[in-house]
């Protein structure tokens, strides 16, 4: 992408977005119970397993800025 400096914020932002999307939609798990399954297919299964074992809880953030009255 021609990024030569950490100050090239716009191209870094675009590169980060591409990497995250590719990692989510194309990457596969390489170990554990979900080995060889696509990340996008097991995300919910892993979330449920973590909650079921008591090692985590469901946490959600708003997608947009929230302004209180």
Give 3-62 pLDDT, tens digit per residue: 999 999 999 999 999 999 999 899 999 999 999 999 999 999 999 999 999 999 988 889
* pLDDT for the residue numbered 59: 86
With respect to residue 19, please indicate whether it lies within any of the assigned structural domains: yes
Report how many domains make up the chain: 1
In a domain, 69, yes or no: no
Whether the predicted pLDDT of 69 surpasses 90: no
| 59: in domain | no
Q: Would 63 be classed as within a structural domain?
A: no
Domain that holds residue 35: 9-52
> Can you give the pLDDT at residue 53?
95
Question: 28 has which bridge partners?
Answer: 38
Nearest to 4 by CA among 19, 15, 20: 15
Give residue 60's pLDDT.
86
Burial class (CB in 10 A: 0-12, 13-18, 19+), 37: middle
Token duo for residue 23: 């990692």
């Amino acid at each position: 992408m021609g990024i030569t400096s950490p100050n090239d914020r716009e191209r870094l932002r675009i590169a980060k977005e591409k990497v995250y999307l590719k990692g989510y939609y194309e990457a596969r798990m390489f170990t554990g119970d979900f080995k060889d399954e696509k990340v996008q297919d097991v995300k919910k299964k892993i979330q449920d397993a973590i909650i079921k074992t008591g090692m985590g809880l469901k946490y959600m953030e708003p997608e947009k800025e929230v302004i209180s009255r």
